[in-house]
Amino acid sequence: MVTPAAKREAVAHLRSALDMSERRACRTIGCVRMTVRYRCHRPDDAELRARLRSLAHVRRRFGYRRLHVLLRREGFTVNHKRLFRLYREERLMVRRRGGRKRALGTRAPMLVPQWPNDRWSLDFVADQFIDGRRLRILVVVDDCTRECLALVPDTSISGIRVARGAYTATFAVTHPRWEPCAGKPHVRFCAGARDETRVPTATVGISF
């Protein structure tokens, strides 16, 4: 029993159930008689509560401090502590957004390539022209030698264009080896519908 309301309820229960006097009931639970006899004189907050609910419904991400500013602009004279009490009683608390979902379990460590052409990585870099147009560049890098094998610039690069650029880079070496990256997403190059997009099926590791 911490709150005054709980103490008043306990005193009322002792007086009704055990036929105690008010003085004896207060002495039993360690309560001051002034606390039991106190009567609340708070004004009617129906209009303030209604306006607070309507603002919170429109401004869903606003907390009680920002709602307090809006209410004061509309002419409501209310203390921030009183508004916070009404804010909690109306259950208008803003829910906290969840954090980033992380992968469960342990991931297998990525194997370090021991020789050239053991594994290639694909990545995208982006920039912007002075007129606002976006520029994207597909980069193919050898994970062992860190050599940049191909650069494919364009304003938009589709999946077929990625397959074509990676397959074109295979002509720069004698026998390239494509292996999946452990714990990383991978893409499979398959023969396309057009002749210029036909490439042999292979699994290519992608590191971002």
SS3 73: helix
Judgement on whether residues 28 and 73 belong to the same structural domain of the protein: no
Check pLDDT > 60 for residue 108.
Answer: yes
Domain count, the chain: 3
Distances (CA, A) of 194 to 79, 152, 198: 72, 20, 7
> Residue range 47-55: average pLDDT?
93
pTM greater than 0.75: no
Domain hosting 78: range is 46-89
Judgement on whether residues 165 and 126 belong to the same structural domain of the protein: yes
- Contacting residues for 122 by C-beta, under 8 A, at least 6 apart: 138, 139, 140, 162, 166, 204, 206, 207
Evaluate whether 55 touches 71 at the Cβ level (below 8 Å). yes
Residue 112 lies in a domain: no
Residue 33 lies in a domain: yes
Residue 94 lies in a domain: no
Residue 96 lies in a domain: no
> pLDDT class for 199, splitting at 50, 70, 90?
very low
Q: What single DSSP character describes residue 77?
A: -
> Residue range 115-141: average pLDDT?
87
